[in-house]
Amino acid sequence: MKRLGLLSIAAVLAACSKSEPPPEPVRPVLSIKVQALNEQTLGRFAGSIQARYESNTGFRVGGRIASRNVDVGAEVQKGTLLATLDPSDQQNQLRSAQGDLAKIQAQLINAQANARRQQALFDRGVGAQAQLDIANTDLKTTQASLDQARAAVNQSKDQLGYTELRSDHKAVVTAWNAEAGQVVTAGQQVVTLAQPDIKEAVIDLPDTLVDEIPRDVVFLVAGQLDPSINTTATIREIEPQAQSATRTRRARLTLASTPDGFRLGTAISVTLSSAVKPRIELPATALQEVDGKTRIWVIDTQNKTVAPRDVNVISRTDSNVVLDGGVKAGERVVSAGVNSLKPGQAVKLDEDSQ
């Protein structure tokens, strides 16, 4: 009887142990909070802040540069003297023209006196008509020569004035292309002046990207040294032809505003992005492939448990995947260790994720 009773008790204990399996262990997991993407980044490019309007200025006459009066970076006003040429040749031409003018003025005095004399003789009836006509003709010829000599003097004065290179407007000197002592020709580029009032961002874009840029593209322009200085921009113009060496096309962007930190020549970083339908980006390690379906594990942050959820992947890289839905922004999903989870399993979140 005792043996039978012991067997009964053992059977009852065995039945109890089978009906109450031990609980699943709490599994520590890495997780990530879901955020919706509203923009698609098309690329990031380096550029600089430049003036929209620049002029390459040179002397209107040739000669040897005698002096440079301002340096690169200097702000100049309208009429500021930038550089001068050796004026010796122009001064000699002016003196020669002034000498010719004085000679012709003396000739004009004689021609006027002769014309008056011949007119008086003709009026008294003792002078010939032919002599009077010759005197009047000489007077007119001399008057015309005087006008020509005066024009030559004015032209020589202009040529002498052209030996001084002055700014036509308020500007900033951005480059010098000639040095003192160098001989330049008329019209040769000597100095570059930029109008500082209107600035724009200038970048070089790959030729293959230009044709793919959507109309709603947004340019975020930020300073490379201080990204907190930033603004948005729109395309003003893009070069129609790519540069043969780099296969890039220069783009000029109109700034929505011009922060004080955006000085001429400031290095900038320009990010291109385009608005897209909201979607979810997760680490590739958050996906699990089961029976031909793709799923993720969503964490119940209140109960510290997980549950699987099927999702649809629209694009992927080696490190990330993009989903078209299946999870909401603000939910938390397991980002690593998904293959060892079971529905309803208790998990312990990593400290960073909490």
Statement: 63-86+163-194 belongs to CATH 3.40.50.720: no
Q: Is residue 47 within 8 Å of 262, Cβ to Cβ? A: no
- C-alpha 297/C-alpha 333 separation (Å) is 6
- Which residue intervals of 179-328 are DSSP H helices? 207-210
Q: Distances from the Cα of 78 to the Cαs of 173, 190, 193, 350, in angstroms? A: 12, 17, 11, 66
Report the pLDDT value the prediction gives residue 24, as an integer from 0 to 100. 65
pLDDT computed for residue 354 by the predictor: 42
Which helix (H) or strand (E) covers residue 310, if one does? strand 305-310
Taking domain 23-37+279-349, whether its CATH number is 2.40.420.20 is answered by yes
Quote the CA–CA distance of 169 and 78 in Å, as a whole number. Answer: 4
Residue range(s) in the chain whose domain bears CATH number 1.10.287.470: 88-161
CA distance 327 to 299: 11
DSSP 3-state assignment of 103? helix
Question: What pTM was estimated for this model as a whole?
Answer: 0.58
CATH 2.40.420.20 in the chain: give the residue spans: 23-37+279-349
What residues of the chain score a pLDDT lower than 70? 1-24, 38-42, 215-216, 274-278, 350-354
pLDDT, position 41? 67
From-to residues of CATH 2.40.30.170 in the chain: 41-52+196-277
Does domain 88-161 bear CATH number 3.30.565.10?
Answer: no
Question: Which residues, including other chains, have CB under 8 Å from residue 264's CB and lie 6 or more apart?
Answer: 49, 50, 51, 172, 174, 194, 196, 199
Q: Fold for domain 41-52+196-277?
A: Elongation Factor Tu (Ef-tu); domain 3 (2.40.30)
| pLDDT of amino acid 1 | 47
Residue 77: what pLDDT?
93
List, for residues 53-111, the tens digit of each pLDDT value: 989 999 999 999 999 999 998 999 999 999 999 999 999 999 999 999 999 999 999 99
Bridge partners of 348?
A: 28
Helix ranges, 20-87 (H): none
Determine the pLDDT at residue 34.
83
Q: What stretch of H or E contains 202?
A: strand 199-206
